Amino acid sequence: MAESTQTSSPETNNGEPLRIGISGLGRSGWGIHANVLAQIGENFNVTAVCDPDPARQEEAIDRFDCLAYSTIDEIIADKAVELLVVATPSQLHVSDVSAALRAGKHVIVEKPMAPTLEGVDEMIAVAEETGMLLTVNQNYRYHADFLKVKEVVDSGVLGRIVQMRITGNGFRRRWDWQTLKKYGGGDLNNKGAHSIDWAIHFFDDPNPEIFCQMETTPLFAGDAESHVKLVIKPNDGPVIDVEMSNCCAFPQDAWLVMGTQGTLVSADRREIRWKYFDPDEAPPLVLDTKPTPDRSYNRETLPWKEESFTPEFNFFTGMFTLYEDIYNTVRAGTPAAISAASVRRQVEILERCREISPV
């Protein structure tokens, strides 16, 4: 679906701080967005917040000297708010985002963008209708390990990529609201919204083959999935193996990329190593069906090259860049760095997983 890139006129309020409202002061709204906006500098001003909890409202007033509301209707009626952060529970995203867009607000919505693809399409349609910016907090697109893996893959030094593995495993028990399906909980939405968003950057096929197996285990108090195995097979790229489990007590490689000229690996996203060779520098590969001299296998020494990269990991760095991109889109009319249409591809895969392996 096409997406409008219209925002406010570049001449309007150009250079002035972007006036921001935050709806939902929980783990994401407060722990991520408010914390980032408190540090990010003079281009942003938290003008208003919204949360049904009076204690959270007071905390925000003390921190930002802002207005505080109890309902979404009140904050979107505030004409001072230009950009609304929608960090409410997932099942409210479609209604909250649509109402904010229709009230003339630009919107950044937390992941997962919506519980269903139908909801995503509804929000995109409202953004097109109103000409307002709709973007999504897919801040992992700015993470240094992903950017370096993409750079190495795109460079071609690993040859044709045959298989890629993205792993987000651990051993953890949970008993909060995100373990319940009715609230959009489960690891497919919460971890998969990032891992699958990474995966879609390595192929173009709009309808890849998908295998998915999800399970609810006793590690979650609720009924949502706590173990996800997903295999994506596009017609124009590598097999991509995505694993998100709470049942793995031994660390696994976060990245494993296997190509016809080498391999990339990252054990914990803190160090990336890749080893490769140039076929032009290797002995010719010539089929020989004669018996080997020692009745063994072919042996050779390839001209290996090895490189490594240790990214500076700061979760908030990606958020700083994301907000600066939003500022440039709203104030200067630059195209949205994270378009809702690009996130639609991710949500489509999430929905197909739920159809293939309902929990």
Q: What is the 3-state secondary structure (H, E, C) of 41-82?
A: CCCEEEEEEECCCHHHHHHHHHHHCCEEECCHHHHHCCCCCC
* Confidence (pLDDT) at 82: 98
Over residues 91-119, the pLDDT tens digits come to: 999 999 999 999 999 999 999 999 999 99
Is the omega angle on the peptide bond into residue 112 within 30 degrees of 0, that is, cis? yes
Number of structural domains in the chain: 2
Rounded distance between C-alpha atoms, residue 83 and residue 108, angstroms? 7
* Confidence (pLDDT) at 312: 82
Question: Average per-residue pLDDT in the chain?
Answer: 93
H or E, element range at 106: strand 106-109
Residue 9 pLDDT class (50, 70, 90 cuts): very low
Average pLDDT of the residues in 189-195 = 92
Is residue 359 one of the residues assigned to a domain? no
DSSP 3-state of 354: helix
Is residue 235 one of the residues assigned to a domain? yes
Residue in the block written with tokens 């929905």: 351
Q: Is the pLDDT of residue 232 over 50?
A: yes
Same domain, 169 and 303: yes
Q: Is the pLDDT of residue 178 over 80?
A: yes
Tell me whether residue 359 is exposed, middle or buried, using C-beta atoms within 10 angstroms of its C-beta: 0 to 12, 13 to 18, 19 or more: middle
Residue 13 pLDDT class (50, 70, 90 cuts): low
* Confidence (pLDDT) at 14: 66
Same domain, 120 and 199: no
Among 23-27, 106-110, 186-190, where is mean pLDDT lowest?
Answer: 186-190
Same domain, 119 and 166: no
CB 206 within 8 A of CB 280: no
The enclosing domain of 152 has a CATH number of 3.30.360.10
List the domain range (segments joined by +) for residue 200.
Answer: 141-313
Over residues 283-320, the pLDDT tens digits come to: 999 998 998 888 888 888 999 999 999 988 777 888 99
Average pLDDT of the residues in 231-244 = 96
Residue 316 has phi, psi (to 5 degrees) of -75, -20
| Nearby residues of 84 by Cβ (< 8 Å), 6 or more positions away | 20, 21, 22, 23, 75, 76, 100, 105, 106, 107, 108
Same domain, 171 and 119: no
Tell me whether residue 136 is exposed, middle or buried, using C-beta atoms within 10 angstroms of its C-beta: 0 to 12, 13 to 18, 19 or more: buried
Question: Beta partners for 48?
Answer: 21, 67
Same domain, 164 and 244: yes
Rounded distance between C-alpha atoms, residue 7 and residue 320, angstroms? 20
How, if at all, do strands 227-233 and 209-215 pair? antiparallel
Q: What percent of the chain has pLDDT over 90?
A: 85
The enclosing domain of 342 has a CATH number of 3.40.50.720
* Confidence (pLDDT) at 207: 93
Residue 217 pLDDT class (50, 70, 90 cuts): very high
Q: What percent of the chain has pLDDT over 70?
A: 96
Residue 207 has phi, psi (to 5 degrees) of -140, 65
